[in-house]
């Protein structure tokens, strides 16, 4: 086997580990905890389906690929819960080291391309990145809403924290932010989010 294909398949096999990185979100139907690969798959399809609501036109293929890869660094760095302020302090250093190791498995041209795509997501620097972030917020919101807000209740999350996160959705999609706001208000009224 030539070296290029060998590197590509080594990266593909490495990706498999992302299926073992658990998130705090639970599957609908009060299911088990979701993993990063499932979350990314779900976000990518939602990005395609909902792209008409992006604030600016997005390239569907690029936004899907960005969704699919946006958590790959968590293979090494682990998932950092959006409302865990302590873990968030070390998140960038852990994720930078992971990015270097994992993408370096690829041939140089693909290493550079996918690293740039990952960085673009992290920087919120394009319409695709901003819309992918909207999906990163909306996908767990849908699941948590379907479970009566049980993930927020389990962690004692405050409405203020959730709004700080979901305000990012505004940058990608005003329409989907309005819908997220409607869902969040319902959970504040029900006492699932602390005031």
User: Is 22 near a copy of itself (CB under 8 A)?
Assistant: no
Nearest Cα to Cα of residue 33 among 174, 140, 188 = 140
Sequence-separated (6 or more) residues with CB below 8 Å from residue 154 = none
Scored b (16 or more CB within 10 A) or e, 150-173 reads: ebbbeeebebebbeebbeebbbbb
User: Is 146 near a copy of itself (CB under 8 A)?
Assistant: yes
Count of other CB atoms within 10 angstroms of residue 126? 18
- At residue 96, what are phi and psi to the nearest 5 degrees? -65, -45
From residue 63 to residue 102, the character string flagging contacts with a copy of itself as x (rule: CB under 8 A) and all else as - is -xx--xx---------------------------------
Task: Select from 37, 58, 73, 75 the one that contacts a copy of itself (CB under 8 A).
Answer: 37
User: Is 143 near a copy of itself (CB under 8 A)?
Assistant: yes
Residues within the interface to a copy of itself (CB under 8 A): 1, 5, 8-9, 11-13, 15-17, 19-20, 27-29, 31, 34-35, 37-38, 40-42, 44-46, 48-50, 53, 59-62, 64-65, 68-69, 106, 110, 139, 142-143, 146, 175, 179, 182
């Amino acid at each position: 086997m030539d070296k290029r294909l060998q590197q590509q398949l080594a990266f593909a096999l490495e990706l498999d580990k992302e299926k073992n990185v658990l998130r705090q979100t639970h599957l609908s139907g009060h299911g088990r905890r979701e993993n990063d690969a499932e979350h990314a798959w779900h976000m990518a399809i939602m990005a395609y389906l909902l792209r008409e609501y992006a604030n600016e036109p997005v390239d569907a293929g690029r936004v899907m690929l960005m969704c699919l890869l946006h958590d790959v660094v968590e293979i090494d760095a682990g998932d950092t819960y959006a409302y865990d302020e302590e873990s968030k302090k070390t998140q960038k250093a852990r994720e930078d080291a992971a990015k270097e190791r994992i993408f370096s498995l690829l041939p140089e041209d693909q290493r550079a391309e996918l690293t740039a795509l990952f960085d673009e997501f992290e920087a919120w620097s394009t319409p695709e990145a901003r819309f992918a972030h909207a999906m990163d917020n909306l996908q767990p919101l849908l699941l948590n809403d379907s479970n009566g807000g049980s993930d927020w209740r389990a962690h004692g999350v405050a409405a203020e924290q959730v709004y700080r996160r979901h305000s990012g959705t505004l940058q990608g999609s005003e329409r989907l932010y309005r819908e997220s706001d409607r869902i969040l208000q319902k959970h504040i009224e029900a006492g699932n989010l602390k005031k």
